[in-house]
Amino acid sequence: MIAIGLEGSANKLGVGIISHPSPGKPAIILSNIRHTFVSPPGEGFLPKDTAKHHRSWVVSLVKQAMAEAGVSTRDIDCICYTKGPGMGAPLQSVAVAARMLSLLWGKELVGVNHCVGHIEMGREITGAQNPVVLYVSGGNTQVIAYAEQRYRIFGEALDIAVGNCLDRFARTLEISNDPAPGYNIEQLAKKGKVLLDLPYAVKGMDCSFSGILASIDILAAELKANPEQRDPITGEIITTADLCFTLQEIVYAMLVEITERAMAHVGSDQVLIVGGVGCNERLQEMMGLMANDRGGSVFATDERFCIDNGIMIAHAGLLAYETGFRTPLEESTCTQRFRTDEVFIKWRD
Amino acid sequence: MTAQIQEIPPIPQAAPLEPPVPPKSSNLLPVTFQNDPAPPELIAQGAEALLYRTTYLLPSIPCALKYRPSKPYRHPILDTRLTKHRILSEARVLVKCRKEGVPVPAVYALDEKAGWLMFEWIEGEVVRVRLNEWLRRRKGVEGGIQLGEEYLRALMRRIGSALGRMHGIGIVHGDLTTSNMMLRPSKNEAVSAAGGSETEDQILDGDIVLIDFGLASQGTQDEDRAVDLYVLERAFASTHPRAEPLFSEVLDAYGKSFKGAHIVLKKLEDVRMRGRKRSMLG
């Protein structure tokens, strides 16, 4: 069976086409393309501009994805789209496009939970069987494990998501949003050495980032006012690279800690990292060190699958479609709030 | 809009990342205990700490040794800061609880620089194990969970009032799960259990002892107390989904356990809403 997936819950518009040859066989990716709306330095992406971006690109992306996959509309079994969670206006634009395709081609719709899309694609690509999942992106921070037909959330950010904390700090520093603010922070952090004092906010398996963002913003303002500050221990001049380094070291240590706690709690030794922040090599490295200490292993994917994409929506949608799930046209809505644990995972034991 | 359409080549690959292999920590024991003639026995590896059973103090007194080895993934400065802070605050909290009559293990000794804390050995098992065992046995019986519901309710109420007592004296646990509570056999039960085989419902008997105060703090803010309950509520729902409907018993007993508990329960509703309403973009 073949499905096309449309994703546009944030600033990436992704279209992917996947084929599930037969049960038990690995999925085949026929095409997976995306186009990113990049806002100027110092600014985030606004819903209305992002929605406009998606509307103007969706047709050409679908055409290109179909051409690359070498399939015709007759080969497609269902049209999968992101039902939520995400930003309202971009979600609506993509849902409208999906409905249009459904009517035009006479194919059924499948609304997909974005988070479940990430998890299922991560499992498919890495082959991780039953991992503890760390889902970290611009809008989500969750530690998830599967139990009894649901992806259950063991821990999550109590305020802003980790990616949002990083993105907003990139705005404070006014560094480029191209290709992604988090990527540019990561590159700057590689040059940092001095660990500054920041709060560390872990509560059980939950964590909090807004206080950390406020503190690092204060440090950045102080540095701007007085660029000659030196580290009291080493005597080295403090730079913005040190700020990025500190921020990464602290927030990733928190993420690894809550993941380790969840692993100890459920007795699992596999970790799967998904979501845009999951591309960060420092996070992957730290997670690897932790897993190694526990005799376990880390599974991660690269930017093709970590960052929002259409193929994960197609994959998770097709898994649901194969179990008989359909989204009738009248119910093909989207929603900004759609928790991971609301989805009934019929396709797993 | 500067980006071009990004080509994403379709090469699925199934390689777990191989982390650079550091030498396996050779000292999984603090130096002080490495030459102990009766070496401490490793009981559990938690997320942050190793738990040993040792007779280091006196052969007749078993004690628990909690060791926080340094974490290779953490920056050394952060690691030292967290370890020291957590050992000291855990000890302070335990001492305070003990003094005020909250059921916790007694502190015997510590060395915050070396990262260890020694305290009273608690007999029994953690609630998670007992509860899951009970649910497992009940699952086989027709209407089993309903039949034994009163035992489960009683357990939940004991949990609720223990938490209430702890919050009442100004302690917030910070990591409440069913793995961080023990069921210690009461004195008279120990006799009866030795006499005959354990019945299903006796699995849930015993006194609640709260353990693992590694993330605990002292404070009387309703917000912190409510988050404490929220953490447990979610841990409960994800660990024992079948017993979740009875979680209200915990809150009910909690509400009666100290003055001001009802304000915390009110706050808990806010915290829950925040948890579920949080915008989850991207």
pLDDT tens column, B239-262: 888 888 899 999 999 999 999 999
Compute the average pLDDT of residues B12-39: 60
Average pLDDT over residues A85-97: 97
Q: Which of A10-24, A77-91, B20-34, B175-189 comes out lowest in average pLDDT? A: B20-34
| Percentage of residues of chain A with pLDDT beyond 90 | 91
- The encoded tokens of residue A141 equal 């921070």
Contacts of A139 in chain B (CB under 8 A): 279-282
pLDDT at position B24 is 44
Chain-wide mean pLDDT for chain B? 83
Amino acid at A91: L
For residue B17, the model assigns a pLDDT of 45
Instruction: Round to whole Å and give the CA distance between B234 and B241.
Output: 10
User: What residue spans in chain B does CATH classification 3.30.200.20 cover?
Assistant: 39-120
Give yes or no for residue B12 having a pLDDT over 50.
Answer: no
| Structure tokens belonging to residue A88 | 């309202």
Predicted pLDDT at B190: 52
Domain B39-120 has CATH 3.30.750.24: no
pLDDT at B45 over 80: no
Cα of A285 to nearest chain B Cα, Å: 7
Q: What is the mean pLDDT of residues A180-206?
A: 93
Are the Cβ atoms of A265 and B72 closer than 8 angstroms? Answer: no
* A44-58 pLDDT per residue, tens: 999 999 999 999 999
Same fold, A2-120+306-342 and A131-303: yes
pLDDT at B94 over 50: yes
Q: Do B19 and A289 touch (CB under 8 A)?
A: yes
Q: Dihedral (C-alpha) B129, B133, B134, B140: value to the nearest 10 degrees?
A: 160
Check pLDDT > 80 for residue A286: yes
pLDDT of the residue at A336:
92
Label the pairing between strands A78-84 and A2-7: parallel
Q: Tell me the C-alpha distance between A166 and A161, whole Å.
A: 9
| Amino acid making up residue A72 | S
The domains of chain A are located at 2-120+306-342, 131-303
- Say whether B25 and A293 touch across the interface (CB within 8 A): yes
Task: Count A/B contacts: CB-CB distance under 8 Å.
Answer: 194
Say yes or no for a CB contact (<8 Å) between A33 and B1.
no
Q: Does B12 reach chain A within 8 Å, measured CB to CB?
A: yes
A178 neighbourhood in chain B, CB within 8 Å: 2-3
pLDDT above 60: residue B2: no
Length of chain A equals 349
Highest mean pLDDT among B13-22, B90-99, B190-199: B90-99
pLDDT tens string A311-337: 999 999 999 999 999 999 999 999 998
Q: What is the pLDDT of residue A266?
A: 86
In degrees to the nearest 10, what's the CA dihedral of A137, A141, A145, A150? -90
Residues of A in contact with B237 (CB under 8 A): 152
pLDDT band at B281 (very low <50, low <70, confident <90, very high): very low
* Residue numbers of B between 122 and 161 with CB closer than 8 Å to A: none
pLDDT given for residue B22 in this prediction: 39
Q: What is the pLDDT, as a whole number, of residue B44?
A: 82
Please give the Cα distance from A141 to A280 (Å, whole number).
Answer: 14
C-beta of residue B227 within 8 angstroms of C-beta of residue B220? no
For B90-226, where are the E strands, in sequence order?
107-111, 116-120, 125-126, 171-172, 181-184, 207-210, 217-218
| pLDDT tens-place string over residues A97-115 | 999 999 999 999 999 999 9
ipTM of the complex: 0.90
Quote the distance between the C-alpha of residue B69 and its chain's center: 19
Does A197 count as an annotated binding residue?
no
Residues of chain B with CATH 1.10.510.10: 125-275
Looking at domain A131-303, its CATH class is alpha beta
CATH of domain A2-120+306-342: 3.30.420.40
Report the distance separating Cα B105 and Cα A173, nearest Å.
48
Protein fold of B125-275: Transferase(Phosphotransferase); domain 1 (1.10.510)
